[in-house]
C-alpha cells in the first residue's frame, strides 16, 4: 500500500425495525457518535430512544416550500435532543426527515453541543447547498471551549462529515471547484478533469465535467426547450433553472447556461439539455471522441482493477 493511500472506513447502518423506511441508526467503527434518522412515520420511535434523550445536536430536513427543487434545513442542539427536536418539529411544517446526533457514553456537555450546532450552521452556510431555516447564525468564536475540547469537537465533525452523505445529507459537502471558482477561466478551473460533451443535430452544444460524484454542466452550454417531449421528473428542475436565471433564452428553441450547475447524475444533466428523458451514460461523450460516458467509465474501472493487481 502506498503512503498516500486513503484508508477505508466502516460505517454501520442498522435498520431498527428491519424496514429501510423506518428508524435507522448509523455509526462509524471506533467512534462514540450515534446518529439516528427517521421520517415522519417513525418520528415517535426516534424520540423514544434512550440514546436520543441525551445532550447533542439534531437536524430537520425537507423540501423548501418557497423554492421548487430546493432543500430546507433546521439545525439545533439541546441537553435532551428528544425534547428539543419534538419542540422544533411542531413549529416547522417543511421537514420530512429528522436526524439526531448524540454519543454512546453521553459525554457531550452543553458547551460541546452548542459548539457543534454553531459549526454545523456555519459549515452548511458555507457549502450553500441548502436553505437554512435558522433565523440567526451563532458565532463559533463565542462558543468558548478549551483548546483540547475544540480539537475533539472538530474530529467529531470530521466523522459526521463522513456519515451524513451516506445517509442522504449533502448539506456539508463543499460545492465543486467548477461551480465555485467562476472567476477563473473554464480551462484553469477544470484542468485535470475529464470533460464530456453533447453535440445535438439541432446545433445545441453542451460541455460538462465530473467532480466528486457530481456532473457539472459548464457555463456557455446550451439546452433545447419547448420540444414537446414529456418529462418525468426533470421538467420542474428545468423550470427552476429558468426561473432562477441559470438558463436564459438563446434563440428560438434554445436556452443557455449563464453559470455552471451541478447535477446528481449524467442522465439528469442530459434530460435538461435535450428537453426529454435521457440516458446520460449514452448521450454524453468524452470530449473530442465518440466514446460514451458509459464506455469511458467501464474503461476507467478496468484500468483501476489492473493497477490494483499490479500493486
pLDDT digits (tens, 9 = 90+) for 173-208: 887 787 877 788 888 888 888 899 999 999 999 999
pLDDT reading at 265 higher than 50: yes
Spans of all domains in the chain: 11-166, 177-310
pLDDT tens string 62-78? 998 887 678 999 999 99
What does the pLDDT read at residue 5? 52
pLDDT per position as a tens digit, 99-151? 999 999 888 999 999 999 999 999 999 888 899 999 876 665 556 789 999 99
SS3 of the chain: the string is CCCCCCCCCCEEEEECCCCCCCCEEEEECCCCEEEEEEEHHHHHHHHHCHHHCCCEEEEEEEECCCCCCCEEEEEEEECCHHHHHHHHHHHCCCCCEEEEEEECCCCCCHHHHHHHHHHHHHHHHHHCCCEECCCCCCCHHHCCCCHHHHHHHHHHHHHHHHHHHHCCCCCCCCCCHHHHCCCCCHHHHCCCCCEEEEECCCCCEEEEEEECCEEEECCCCEEECCCCCCCCCCHHHHHHHHHCCCEEECCCCEEEECCCEEECCHHHHHHHHHCCCCCHHHHCEECCCCCEHHHHHHHHHHHHHHHHHHC
Residue 100 has a pLDDT of 98
Question: The pTM is what?
Answer: 0.74
Amino acid at each position: 500500500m502506498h503512503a498516500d493511500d486513503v484508508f477505508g472506513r466502516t460505517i454501520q447502518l442498522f435498520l431498527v425495525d428491519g424496514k429501510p423506511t423506518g428508524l435507522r441508526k448509523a455509526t462509524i467503527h471506533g467512534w462514540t457518535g450515534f446518529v439516528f434518522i427517521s421520517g415522519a412515520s417513525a418520528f415517535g420511535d426516534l424520540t423514544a430512544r434512550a440514546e436520543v434523550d441525551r445532550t447533542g445536536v439534531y437536524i430537520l430536513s425537507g423540501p423548501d416550500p418557497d423554492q421548487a427543487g430546493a432543500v430546507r434545513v433546521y439545525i439545533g442542539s439541546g441537553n435532551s435532543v428528544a425534547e428539543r427536536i419534538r419542540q422544533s418539529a411542531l413549529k416547522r411544517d417543511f421537514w420530512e426527515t429528522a436526524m439526531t446526533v448524540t454519543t454512546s457514553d453521553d459525554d457531550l456537555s452543553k458547551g460541546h453541543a452548542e459548539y457543534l450546532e454553531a459549526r454545523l450552521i456555519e459549515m452548511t452556510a458555507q457549502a450553500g447547498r441548502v436553505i437554512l431555516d435558522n433565523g440567526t447564525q451563532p458565532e463559533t468564536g463565542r462558543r468558548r471551549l478549551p483548546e483540547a475540547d475544540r480539537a475533539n469537537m472538530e474530529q467529531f465533525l470530521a466523522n459526521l462529515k463522513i456519515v451524513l452523505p451516506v445517509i442522504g445529507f449533502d448539506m456539508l459537502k463543499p460545492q465543486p471547484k467548477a461551480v465555485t471558482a467562476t472567476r477563473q477561466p473554464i480551462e484553469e478551473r477544470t484542468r485535470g478533469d475529464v470533460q464530456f460533451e453533447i453535440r445535438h443535430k439541432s446545433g445545441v452544444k453542451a460541455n460538462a465535467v465530473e467532480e466528486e460524484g457530481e456532473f457539472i454542466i459548464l457555463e456557455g452550454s446550451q439546452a433545447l426547450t419547448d420540444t414537446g417531449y414529456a418529462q418525468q421528473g426533470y421538467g420542474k428542475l428545468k423550470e427552476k433553472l429558468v426561473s432562477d436565471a441559470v438558463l436564459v433564452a438563446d434563440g428560438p428553441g434554445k436556452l443557455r447556461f449563464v453559470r455552471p450547475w451541478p447535477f446528481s447524475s449524467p442522465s439528469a444533466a442530459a434530460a435538461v439539455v435535450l428537453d426529454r428523458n435521457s440516458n446520460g451514460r449514452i448521450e454524453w461523450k468524452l470530449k473530442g471522441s465518440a466514446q460514451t460516458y458509459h464506455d469511458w467509465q467501464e474503461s476507467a474501472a478496468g484500468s483501476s482493477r489492473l493497477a490494483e493487481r499490479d500493486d
